[in-house]
Structure 1
Amino acid sequence: MKRFALYLFFVCFTVIICNYAIFAETLNVPDEFETIQGAINASENGDVVLVQPGEYDENVDFNGHNITVASLFYATGDPEYIGRTIIDGHGTRRVVSFISQENRHAVLTGFTIRNGSTSYGAGIYIRESSPTLENLIITANHATHRGGGVYCTQNSNPTLSHVTIAGNTADDDFSGIHAFDESNPTVVNSILWGNNPPDISDRVLISFSDVQGGFEGEGNSDVDPLFGDADRGDFNLTENSPCIDAGSDIGNGFNGELPDLGALETGLPVTHFRFNLTDNNHSILVVSATLDNEELPAFDEIGIFSQEGLCCGGGFWNGGELGLAAWGDDPGTEIIDGFVNNEVIEYRIWDFTTQRECIVNPQYVGGEGNYVANGFSAVELEGMTSYHWEAPEPTDNNHSLLIESASFNDESLDIGDEIGVFTADGLLAGYAIWNADDRIGFAVWGDAEHTEDIVEGFVADEAFTFVIWDYNVEVEIEAVGHFVQGPSVYTEGAFSIVQLGDFEDQDPIDLVANLPSGWSMMSINVDPADEYYSEDEDRGPDVPLMMAELTNRDELEIMKNDVGQFYMPGQNFNNIPYWDLTEGFQIKVTADCSITWTGVPILPFTQIPLSEGWNVIAYFPDYELPCEAPDFTAFVPILDELIIAKDGLGRFALPENNFSNMPPLTPTMGYHVKVSSDVALNYPDAPEELASSEPRSFDNSHWVTPKPTGKCMNVLVNHISGIEMSEGDQVVALNSSGNPVGVGTVDSDGRCGLAVWGDDLSTDYVDGLRDGESFEFKLFSIALESEIDLVVNGFIKGDRLEYTDDSYMVVETSANVTQPQDFYLSPAHPNPFNAVTRFTYGMREEASVSIQVFDIHGRLISTITDGVKAAGQHVAVFDGNSISSGLYIISMSTNSFSTAQKIMLVK
């Protein structure tokens, strides 16, 4: 008996090397097609019909399709699927037919064919065809004339390999297999036993097979195969069967031990690598495989893995070239169960002798190392078995880690380096071998609940300690783990993305924060020097020591955190226990000023924990991050939880409504964010090129933006109907006295976000709204040069125009515009102009209107509009960038009205 059998994907790659199979598809039964025949009918040459275990009551006809029809044996190498995947004729019909000139690329593999009944070829009937039949049990079929199991006629030359033909009957003769009319089937490594009558046509070419009654041919025998229980359909070979190791290695690539005879190989191990079969795959030909520079022992396993550590394919090494499939993600499922397009393909080897997984360095000799549906790659695998640590034993709970990057001295880990994750007591509870250029996923194990006296892993909220084993220099290096996503402490069932590195100590720097007079939000991105810490508090710097520079100049009025604790030096009061470096602060100063601290830079991606609801957070990067819609780059890691974010000037991002008027996040600024659940924020890396996302400035200061008061609500005016607006128009929120309490600028989409400020109770005057106080909106139109009342028509968020601290609303509005009594064309502004000028025109009724620009010679320069316009006021723009300086004429005409005006372009 050989240690393991392997026919895994041998047939697959017989098909793949055909020209038409490069773009083969996998058709799944019954997931995509209820019947095998339905899948065959929908297939094209080179496709694979993959059949799940079950009993299929069908008469299967290949219909001239040169395809592979297979059970899961084809994908797993597990012979159990041969007995569990049955095509049954139920005594009323033939089971399988090849009658349309199919060739050797028509493959049937991994089934039990039984209970067929017809005159000739009850199990399998072959006419004018030469298919390939492998790893089949053909049993209990009855022919009223000949060929109970298999019948071949009219120049049919099929190949049968590892086939068990047993227990078939025929009323005339040749019950097992019969060949007629110039047909010459080839049978190898098979068993023909217990058929009645047992005689076989002399046209059949048989070798290395066990044939009841004997048959001339190399390696043939006539001995009881010692089935498990043939009467009950158990055709497994028992321990002393003479058919074990009696086969031929010709064509199978085996070295040393020989295959067994028949469909069912003995002594197969439990498969180590398990994976799901989906509806798409990438074909891989393993040309060679070594382990520690020696040829890989036959029947060790090769596994195919995604970068997240998901097994997506595999099989037993057969001592020669091996065909495998890397299975892609099934888009019909909610979980990721395979590769996504362009994902890097990784490999592992299961060393059966040591019972360990080995890292693998792939060298591609054909195709690419990235997954492509229906793609193909050829690869040489180099495995290594030298290990520094023993992998920890799995427990009943774990925390998944994805090491996104790992580097030392700016160089990535080498293949073969090891990553260990240790508890505070030095217990190894997570382990991986670096097997990629960029990332790897693995589990960190928690302490098992059922073993109270033994600690096998992490306990809840315990910190991770990372250690790297350098394979080349044989030294352990303690690493720093920076959590890009997910919890930074052990959390059962959680998932985290980590960046590993040495991150050597950085030199202290001076950090300068410039503060505007009044209220703002600020934070720091350095860990201040020891002089800023008090002796009895090491969680963070001391607030009065941190703010001493300002208090010594009497410039600090108050600073407060997000839970209402505050420092008021004028009253010598402080109840902020320490400066939490992950938090931002609201601060009020008496004049424009600056403050300087000395400290070591905090790494940009250091984790910031956020609690459900509102948080004032620090900004750690030393670079800017954009926050414009629709990407909201700065908050991508928490975008699913982010409700609203705003800066100290009340500018805000509202992902649900795809809106942002926030400029890029900037060092020393603090930010106010509201999240739907507890979450951790790790700021992303700096973008390759930061596009300008600062809100555009416009020459429109009709209303001056109120100064921040330390608290506000945010309003998104989502739409303004009834008027044509221009980018740069203003929307103002007015209190009952007509004083502005918030001003915003209309963007290019016609929307406007504004902060409506609450009253600052620390001042002696009213500078904002009180809770519950109402307000109203007005629009200032640049083109019309007039203020226009806005009426709220509906609330997308909120229900009334009343102020509430730290709330937000989204409204739909309309302009309360008086309809023109006549047609008109207003003077252009500016005029003269050097690039662009605007003008308005009025329509007393809906009508067709033409507005055109001419030069002084009457030549048409531009058509502004030419069509039907609704009654009302309209805005038009003329762009003169592409024409030369000079005098031009704007002409407007309707059926009943015409006018013109001069404009002067000066460059």
Structure 2
Amino acid sequence: CGAAARTNWHVASTGSDITGSGTLASPLSSIQTAINAATVGDTVSVAAGTYTENLVFGGKNLSLIGADSSNTIIDGDSVSQVINLKNGEDSTTVIKNFTLRNGIGWENNGSAILMGGGDYAGSPGPKLENLCITQNSFSTGGNAITSFGSTFSLKNSRIINNYGRSLSIQGTQSSTIDNVLITGNGKGVEINGGAAPVFTNVTISNHVGEINYVVFIQSSTPTFKNTLIVGNKHGIFTENNGSLTMINSTIVSNAGRPLEFVRSGSGTIINSIIYHNTNPVIVLDDDVQSSVYFSHSNIEGGQSSIYNDDGGTLSWGNGNISSYPVFADTANGDYTLADTSPCISAGASSVTIGGTTYTAPTTDLAGNARPS
């Protein structure tokens, strides 16, 4: 591209890969050209515009920064993933301020972003921030974002209106998902293979695909804090020694079961609301015992709403209630608590169970002080 060595590479739709040097005054025209020219630690700055590309970082730890997710678009053109990060890119890799659309995945791979796998499973992964991930699809099975054992962070982002699963987190990792809207996708969130991600300030809503449960947990230990699960077919399914921790969260207005634990699946539910689901029954089922612990939570129907088959263990701790929660404005999607809600002052700042102390967030999903 005729560019001199530098640490900040500029890309614009009006630039040129032939005559451009990668400066602000003389930008390149394609993001991949800038990635190829960059060295580890460099920044690629992308001006507002639409770029039809399928990016491969090739193991380079770079910062890829768009102008804003509202106006800087990377379009995969239904060829492959929009961004491939399968070569050991670590937490010094940053992708920020983009819309990623029209990627395609297959065989459980990511259509928008693919991370980790192979020798890089269990390693630190990229930082993803202020992204809109939308209109991605799959052929024989895929997800908008797939991480094979790469401990990534996703913050201040939206995963909306994708054809396949929204998010697949697989293998040993402790990724963080913070302030993310996941809505209108064909399938929900899959967590398996020993993963221990933490979801904070997340809404998972309005999934329309054939897979019933919007969160599927297998042999993993995720934590959900300040999470709203609303308007889906079913809620959370946990199996095969998977263990769900849910704190200050709400499962409401879903068409089916809010929670199901099978084949030694377990759950710890604290300061949470499970109410107004079409099928309010919480299930402990199958031929291998499962268990669940409730504390300071509002459960529609109380203990009578729990179907316990095959001798599962139900632990009904302190402070549980079964009163209509009184949300602020459900007609307009506002599931914060009204001033008259019986849930106000019903939560606990911390709960100790079996020697483990669980601490509640100090604010709720809307930023209100909690517990209060």
Give TM-score scaled by structure 2 length: 0.51
1:239 paired residue number: 339
Query: For 2:282, what is the secondary structure of its paired residue?
Result: coil
The answer to whether the 8 A contact 1:149-1:176 is kept is: yes
Offset, 1:181: 0.9
Q: Is the 8 A contact 1:28 1:51 kept in 2?
A: no
Fraction of identical pairs, as percent:
23
1:158 aligns to what SS in structure 2?
strand
User: Which residue of structure 2 lines up, in the alignment, with residue 41 of structure 1?
Assistant: 115
1:738-774 alpha-carbon deviations (Å, 9 max, x no partner): xxxxxxxxxxxxxxxxxxxxxxxxxxxxxxxxxxxxx
2:198 aligned with 1:115, yes or no? no
Partner of residue 838, structure 1:
none
Describe the shift of the 1:198–1:32 C-alpha distance in structure 2 as closer, same or farther (beyond 3 A).
closer
What corresponds to 2:245 in structure 1?
A: 159
Q: 1:110 to 1:128 in 2, by over 3 A?
A: same
Distance 1:166 1:229, change over 3 A: same
Compare CA radii of gyration and give the structure with the larger one.
1
Instruction: Work out the CA distance in 1 between the residues paired with 2:245 and 2:258.
Output: 15
Match of 1:206 among 294, 315, 328: 294
Structure 1 residue 128: deviation in Å? 1.6
1:128–1:156: 8 Å Cα contact kept in structure 2?
A: yes
Contact 2:271–2:296, Cα closer than 8 Å, also in 1:
yes
Distance 2:114 2:176 in 1: 8
Root-mean-square deviation (CA, aligned residues, Å) is: 3.3
Q: Match of 1:49, as an amino acid? A: L
Does structure 1 retain, via aligned residues, the 8 Å contact 2:159–2:166? no
Q: 1:46 Cα shift?
A: 4.0
SS of the residue corresponding to residue 110 of structure 1 reads strand
**Structure 1: any 5+ residue segments left out of the alignment?**
1-22, 73-84, 143-147, 269-907
**Deviation sequence 1:832-858 (CA, Å, 0-9, x none):** xxxxxxxxxxxxxxxxxxxxxxxxxxx
Deviation at 1:116, TM superposition (A): 2.4
Whole-Å Cα distance in 2 between the matches of residues 37 and 64 of structure 1?
19
1:101 aligned onto 2:183: no
CA drift of 1:162 comes to 1.6
- Aligned counterparts, 1:673-822, within 5 A: none
Whether 2:319 is the aligned partner of 1:226: answer no
Amino acid at match of 1:86: L
How many residue pairs are counted as aligned between the two chains? 218
C-alpha distance in 2 between matches for 1:50 and 1:26: 14
Aligned to 2:168: 61
1:195 corresponds, among 270, 273, 277, to 277
Unmatched segments (≥5 aa) in structure 2: 1-89, 104-109, 117-123, 126-149, 285-290, 304-315, 351-356
- CA–CA distance in 2 between the matches of 1:130 and 1:225? 28
Residues 252 and 178 of structure 1, relative CA distance in 2, 3 Å threshold? closer
Write out aligned runs for 1:510-659 (5 A). none
The separation in 2 between residues aligned to 1:207 and 1:263, in whole angstroms, is 19
Cα displacement string for residues 788-845 of structure 1 (whole angstroms, at most 9, x for unaligned residues): xxxxxxxxxxxxxxxxxxxxxxxxxxxxxxxxxxxxxxxxxxxxxxxxxxxxxxxxxx
| TM-fit CA distance, 1:60 | 0.9
Identify the structure with the greater strand proportion.
2
In the alignment, which of 130, 146, 149 is matched to residue 235 of structure 2?
Answer: 149
Residue 237 of structure 2 aligns to a residue in which SS? strand
Task: Name the structure 2 match of 1:71.
Answer: 178
Give the TM-score, by structure 1 length.
0.22
Displacement of 1:102: 1.2
Given the alignment, which residue of 182, 185, 194 partners 1:87?
A: 182
Q: In the aligned structure 2, how far is the partner of 1:230 from the partner of 1:40?
A: 36
Residue 249 of structure 1 is matched in structure 2 by 349
- 1:263-662 counterparts in 2 under 5 A? 263-264=365-366, 266=368
- Structure 1 residues 27, 240: closer, same or farther in 2, change over 3 A? farther
Q: Is the contact made by 1:155 and 1:184 (CA closer than 8 Å) also made in structure 2?
A: yes
Report the Cα distance in structure 2 between the residues aligned to 1:225 and 1:26, rounded to whole angstroms. 43
Distance across 1 between alignment mates of 2:211 and 2:337? 29
**Partners of 2:258 and 2:172 in 1: CA distance:** 26
Cα distance change of structure 1 residues 238 and 154 upon mapping to structure 2, 3 Å threshold: same
User: Cα–Cα, structure 1 residues 27 and 227, in superposed 2: closer, same or farther, change >3 Å?
Assistant: farther
Contact 1:135 1:263 in 2 (8 A): yes
| Distance in 1 between residues matched to 2:279 and 2:203, nearest whole Å | 21
Aligned pair in 2 of structure 1 residues 212, 264: CA closer, same or farther (>3 Å)? farther
Question: How far apart, CA to CA, are the structure 2 residues paired with 1:25 and 1:160?
Answer: 30
What SS class does the counterpart of residue 266 from structure 1 fall into?
A: coil
Name the CA distance, whole Å, in 1 between partners of 2:96 and 2:178: 10
Cα 1:96–1:48 shift into 2, 3 Å: same
Deviation at 1:94, TM superposition (A): 2.1
Aligned to 1:185: 267
How far 1:96 moved relative to its partner? 0.4
**Aligned-partner Cα distance in 2 for 1:98–1:53:** 18
Q: 1:168 aligns to what SS in structure 2?
A: coil
Please say if residues 29 and 51 of structure 1, whose CA atoms lie closer than 8 Å, have aligned partners that are also in contact: no
CA contact (8 A) 1:161 1:188 kept: yes
Contact kept, 8 Å, 2:173 with 2:194, in 1: the verdict is no
Alignment of 1:176 with 2:258, yes or no, is yes
Judging changes above 3 Å, is the alpha-carbon distance between structure 1 residues 200 and 259 closer, same or farther for their aligned structure 2 residues?
Answer: farther
Q: In 2 relative to 1, CA 55–149 (structure 1 residues): closer, same or farther, beyond 3 Å? A: same
Instruction: Give 1:264 shift.
Output: 4.4
Contact 2:157 2:181 in 1 (8 A): no
CA distance 1:52–1:235, shift in 2 (3 Å)? same
Match for residue 47 of structure 2?
A: none
Higher relative CO (CA 8 A, sep ≥ 6), structure 1 or 2?
2
